[in-house]
Structure 1
């Protein structure tokens, strides 16, 4: 599936659509350059899973992993940008709970995470910089 997201409302709507399709054990990779909207989409997915549009969902850039409890079970939101070595991903426990829904930004820094992905979402900024182009692939 490919789609153009003209604004934040469209990103939130896509996040809610994706959240409705997720099941425990799904591992979602969010690909894209800095500023492409990975965290905004993850935030929308987590808020939809938690059924709380005002939920505080900070970027996990410095914490590396932010956990959430939702009606669909545990959710982990990870950002591997600051990962120094791919072997460090084991310490984060992203694959430890088979019932968790896991969202990962900058997954390319840990090949085992890429291999375990069940959904890949690629975001890019189109020429001119307005909106976002998104591609969603289920594995």
Structure 2
């Protein structure tokens, strides 16, 4: 397994864990009635910002750990340059990410038009970005596994 594939897998794991924890916590808060207060959107905004910051920090730590473990176990150093194939795979993953987030944006606009509460709409946005990231990373992983 190449260095790039290991990095993609670490991003997938991090994304799934962070998003799952966020959705679980938000669901528990929703059941507790914390979104009935006047400051519910402030609370929701803070929760999303905490999720984003923790996701970035954990991704950085995971990438460093993957580099260290790959260097120790497989005697594999991080490639200095990415070749054309790596860039093509990354662009294809970005394309899938954009498709998914675009579809999620349209879905949230439909939800707003149908008078869905803002709590659910914001969580749809978060879910669309998360699923877009998963789809982009899975696409890259598939392309690396396919080999061309």
TM-score normalised to structure 2 length: 0.23
Mark the structure with the bigger radius of gyration: 2
**TM-score, scaled relative to structure 1:** 0.24
